[in-house]
Structure 1
Amino acid sequence: MGEALSLKADWLLPVTGPPIKNGELQIAGGRISALSSVEKIKSSSGTVVIPGLINLHSHLDYSEAPFLKNAPLFDWIERLVATTRQWSREDFERSAAKGAAEAILSGTTFLVDSSYTGQSALAMHRVGLKGIVGLELFGVDATSAAPVFSHWQKRMEELEQELQRLQKATGSESSWSTDDKPIELTISPHSLYTVSPELFRLAVNWAKDRKKFVLTHLAESPQERAWTETGHNRLDSYLRTVLPGPAEEAAQRADLIKNISWKGRGLSPVESLAAEGCIGDRLIAAHCVHLGADDLGILHQAGAAIAHCPRSNRNLENGRAPLEQFLYRELKTGLGTDSLASTESLSMLDEAKALVQVLTEAGIFARDEAQQLALRLITIDAARAAGADDRIGSLAPGKLADLVVLESTYEDPKLKEALMQDGDRVLDGLFNGAFRVRDVYVEGRALVKNGILENPVQKVAG
């Protein structure tokens, strides 16, 4: 764990409390021990300390996949599958490593990731990120649910062993984090259109028995909703394109797709999952853009959480999720970036900035209200959605010292002084490029210093 230290900054933004001018934050034993305001700093350092940022939905595995913008979702997925199907293990390892580095360099300290290969978990450990990684599960053939799930369990056991070996090799299993499991491995049934009801239930029951989260994509596109309600055939054509198998079995696969039981039942995607008993308080559902009249009530009653991805929703032409309704219903909600194949960066500040723009242009919130909300959605609200708000998400005594030091990008001393005059200007500066990420701490240990990634694994091992 990190040694005792004290950080001084022009401003501390606790998120759950008022901004503290001329602030001092003390760390002991990897946790925040005190917050206070000190005598006026002689000259502005242009620094602000905020909680470590939380990304509620990503796919680090695809960080080196081509970025495609303004492509309908299923056109995009078909291209992504065609590209990554040719990748080797080393390709996925390199891609996940790129994403993990970008995430922490942009201020993320906790990440919820759905991983096709499991490489995300290993990449996160290597840079010191904490979070939840769901090993993805696929399988539309209901008759094969049991053997497919058994194969997934074997993959999960192998991933757990590989992560444990990596932790032990670096000496970090016991000394790196006060969390029992800084990276929690769980299950991620990809979506209801790629996972049969029978297989989805196996996934949910597995997670329930172990008190783990379930990560999935839900109600992301209009085509998904049309498919479950009326049997719209765009998803059928997508499945015919991406399902593996020899050409001579194409007719058999087409028959399988034709008889998938999710589709054409007159139910929304949310209603479809609920009908199978697959929505609970450990579900983190990404996107939730195209919802039926009763869907928010179903999600709220179950205690499910939503990962809202405004940039990915825009780039893949899925529209705007009804965030204001999530808030009205008091649904657990945080922001996610999705992958670098569908969004411009893994920066949560960039994601929050995009959200502020969407909310203000639509006239849903005033700019200052949108900014305050956006900051919460990448800190304390996201922590709550991930079941970690007792440990992270705000600056408060007793919480883990996961935090970010931001530095003003203004070189002119007068502009810098003006920026740091009051908390409202500082908050506005977070969303207009007035700051850069300088340092990132996880449990009091500096993982990024002056914008350069440290190697926490080597340091612990050494």
Structure 2
Amino acid sequence: MGAVIHSAPHVIPVSRPPILDGAIAVRRGRVLAVGPRREILAAHPEEEEVRWPGVVVAGLVNAHTHLQFTRMAEVGRRAYDSFEEWSAAFDAVYFSPVRTDWAASAREGALLALRHGTTAVADVVTDVEAMPALSQTGLGGISYLEVLGDTDASWAETGRHHLTSTVRELGGAGDAGTGLIGISPHAPYTLDTGVLADLAVLARRFGLRQHIHLLESVHEREYTISGTGPIARLVRDLGFDFEILRAGGTGHGPVAFLDALGLLGPHCHIAHGVHLDAGERALLRERGVSVALCPRSNRTLGLDGPPVAALLAEGSAIAVGTDSLASSPSLDLLEDVRLLHALARQQGYRSPDLARRLIEAATIGGARALGLDEGPDRIGALDRGARCDFAVFAIDADESDPYRTLIEDGPGRCVATVTGGDQAGRVHLVNSATEVGRGC
């Protein structure tokens, strides 16, 4: 198979400055070269050229979503006054007698993500039948098996065996299986203390990454410190007799609590972090933990936006997520980037690098959160040897700052997404059922 040259008026590789009239040479799902179009064409004179409009950018990485909840969009279309109110609305639909086809719902979500320029995701999977969605659609990333609702007793009786059996079964599936997997301990308030500690051990034993919801609710801190407050009442109402409730808390905030259990480290990233204080942000930086920010989901739940300006100013590792359609109006990651841009300005961030850093968060930042920013299958940037994952946006970029133009005009303007994960390459054309097999 020969190479294919993809060119556009603007190419944003992320790993290097934007290229005016740029091009990417790709073969067998990998990038051969990136540079000015005239140089790439001169180096590959016999190869086919695909000319794209507007801007080509490294594929977006959605660092927090639940694709299986795509058919629960009715929940995400409402506005809520609190996390707890949203949680009750979510549970009413999730646990309703009407059965949802989670596998089909997850596939629909994966295709929606691709249509918005996303090429990889951190997908939290609650029901295992939703696992194959990524491999079935060509979407990259990691499927995180979610664990929630176990007491220490139920974990010892059935929960631990169920998880380890599932991991072994999926891990043994090889090329015919579901791809990369991880573990998602849901949150500090949905699992008993001993379960959380054991999940850290199991993740290390199996070599799996972890992804955790953290400080989405303002009441989470009160729960871990003293075992009181609205979340404590919610947990009791659900019938869980967790150690934190019996002991009257741990005396520690949620971040310190998880750190003491061995859950935090560069193998882990968290979602939301809306209520992180300065000390907690510093601890996450020290541990090498990325924070996936989901501002539109936070807004649906009536929450304040995340402290994006402080995270940027302090040099924290950030990524961007949409969460699911059960809490967000769409899976268009650039919509969340655009809201983060506005929030950062409102919070006082004045550096001219804002747009660039947020596009980096949505690409290489997401790849770093998933541990996919290095090695032969690296994503998030277009450089030699990386997967040829990229998205095309039909916009007229400002030559002085194409990052800002992409944030302002890019949402809803993706016309194609190219993924190279299967070595043959796929071109996903927006508003079309067509996949062109020889994209890479």
- Tell me which residue corresponds to 1:188: 184
Task: Quote how far apart the aligned CAs of 1:201 are.
Answer: 1.4
Q: Find the aligned partners of 2:328 and 2:247 in 1 and give their Cα distance.
A: 29
Say whether residues 1:124 and 2:108 are aligned partners.
no
Task: Quote how far apart the aligned CAs of 1:144 are.
Answer: 2.8
Are the counterparts in 1 of residues 244 and 250 from structure 2 also a CA contact under 8 Å?
no
Task: Give runs of aligned pairs for residues 26-425 of structure 1, distance below 5 A.
Answer: 26-39=25-38, 46-65=53-72, 66=74, 67=76, 68-86=78-96, 90-147=100-157, 148-159=159-170, 168=176, 183-241=179-237, 243=238, 253=239, 256=241, 260=245, 264-365=249-350, 368-390=352-374, 391-408=378-395, 419-420=396-397, 422-424=399-401
Q: Find the aligned partners of 1:31 and 1:233 in 2 and give their Cα distance.
A: 51
Aligned length: 417
Deviates further, 442-451 or 57-66: 442-451
Deviations 1:301-336 (A, max 9, x none): 222221111111222123222223333443322011
Q: Assess, with a 3 A threshold, how the Cα gap between structure 1 residues 201 and 396 changes in structure 2: closer, same or farther.
A: same
Q: Find the aligned partners of 1:312 and 1:334 in 2 and give their Cα distance.
A: 15
Are the counterparts in 1 of residues 107 and 134 from structure 2 also a CA contact under 8 Å?
yes
- Tell me the amino acid that sits aligned with residue 447 of structure 1: V
Task: Quote how far apart the aligned CAs of 1:158 are.
Answer: 4.9
**Gap runs ≥5 in structure 1:** 174-181, 244-252, 409-418
Task: Quote how far apart the aligned CAs of 1:385 are.
Answer: 1.9
Q: Assess, with a 3 A threshold, how the Cα gap between structure 1 residues 400 and 196 changes in structure 2: closer, same or farther.
A: same
Task: Quote how far apart the aligned CAs of 1:420 are.
Answer: 4.5
Task: Quote how far apart the aligned CAs of 1:64 are.
Answer: 1.3
Deviates further, 127-136 or 145-154: 145-154
Structure 2 counterpart SS, 1:432: helix
Say whether residues 1:440 and 2:424 are aligned partners.
no
Deviates further, 429-438 or 369-378: 429-438
Task: Quote how far apart the aligned CAs of 1:157 are.
Answer: 4.3
- Tell me the amino acid that sits aligned with residue 369 of structure 2: A
Q: Find the aligned partners of 1:117 and 1:211 in 2 and give their Cα distance.
A: 22
- Tell me which residue corresponds to 1:431: 407
Q: Find the aligned partners of 1:18 and 1:135 in 2 and give their Cα distance.
A: 37
Percent identity, aligned pairs only? 28
Q: Assess, with a 3 A threshold, how the Cα gap between structure 1 residues 298 and 3 changes in structure 2: closer, same or farther.
A: same
TM-score using structure 1 length = 0.83
Structure 1 counterpart SS, 2:322: coil
Are the counterparts in 1 of residues 70 and 105 from structure 2 also a CA contact under 8 Å?
yes
Q: Find the aligned partners of 1:434 and 1:399 in 2 and give their Cα distance.
A: 24
- Tell me the amino acid that sits aligned with residue 84 of structure 1: Y
Q: Assess, with a 3 A threshold, how the Cα gap between structure 1 residues 62 and 281 changes in structure 2: closer, same or farther.
A: same
Structure 2 counterpart SS, 1:222: coil
Q: Assess, with a 3 A threshold, how the Cα gap between structure 1 residues 273 and 445 changes in structure 2: closer, same or farther.
A: same
Deviations 1:110-148 (A, max 9, x none): 100111113443112111011111111123422333222
Q: Find the aligned partners of 1:437 and 1:263 in 2 and give their Cα distance.
A: 50
Root mean square deviation, CA, Å: 2.7
Q: Assess, with a 3 A threshold, how the Cα gap between structure 1 residues 267 and 261 changes in structure 2: closer, same or farther.
A: farther
Deviations 1:372-392 (A, max 9, x none): 121011111221222111211
- Tell me the amino acid that sits aligned with residue 60 of structure 2: L
- Tell me the amino acid that sits aligned with residue 58 of structure 1: T
Deviations 1:236-287 (A, max 9, x none): 332244x3xxxxxxxxx37x25863575332110111122222222111111
Are the counterparts in 2 of residues 19 and 423 from structure 1 also a CA contact under 8 Å?
no
Task: Quote how far apart the aligned CAs of 1:207 are.
Answer: 0.8
- Tell me the amino acid that sits aligned with residue 204 of structure 2: K
Q: Assess, with a 3 A threshold, how the Cα gap between structure 1 residues 300 and 259 changes in structure 2: closer, same or farther.
A: closer
Deviations 1:12-35 (A, max 9, x none): 111221211111211112111112
Structure 2 counterpart SS, 1:187: strand
Q: Find the aligned partners of 1:153 and 1:104 in 2 and give their Cα distance.
A: 31
Q: Assess, with a 3 A threshold, how the Cα gap between structure 1 residues 453 and 215 changes in structure 2: closer, same or farther.
A: farther
- Tell me the amino acid that sits aligned with residue 161 of structure 2: S
Deviations 1:98-120 (A, max 9, x none): 21111011111110011111344
Structure 1 counterpart SS, 2:86: helix
Q: Assess, with a 3 A threshold, how the Cα gap between structure 1 residues 9 and 138 changes in structure 2: closer, same or farther.
A: same
Q: Find the aligned partners of 1:324 and 1:81 in 2 and give their Cα distance.
A: 33
Q: Assess, with a 3 A threshold, how the Cα gap between structure 1 residues 334 and 105 changes in structure 2: closer, same or farther.
A: same
Are the counterparts in 1 of residues 309 and 348 from structure 2 also a CA contact under 8 Å?
no
Say whether residues 1:452 and 2:432 are aligned partners.
yes
Deviations 1:192-219 (A, max 9, x none): 1011111111111111112211111111
Q: Assess, with a 3 A threshold, how the Cα gap between structure 1 residues 451 and 50 changes in structure 2: closer, same or farther.
A: farther
**Gap runs ≥5 in structure 2:** 42-50
Task: Quote how far apart the aligned CAs of 1:369 are.
Answer: 2.9
Are the counterparts in 1 of residues 7 and 52 from structure 2 also a CA contact under 8 Å?
no
Q: Find the aligned partners of 2:372 and 2:97 in 1 and give their Cα distance.
A: 34
Q: Find the aligned partners of 2:256 and 2:83 in 1 and give their Cα distance.
A: 22
Structure 1 counterpart SS, 2:131: helix
- Tell me the amino acid that sits aligned with residue 373 of structure 2: D
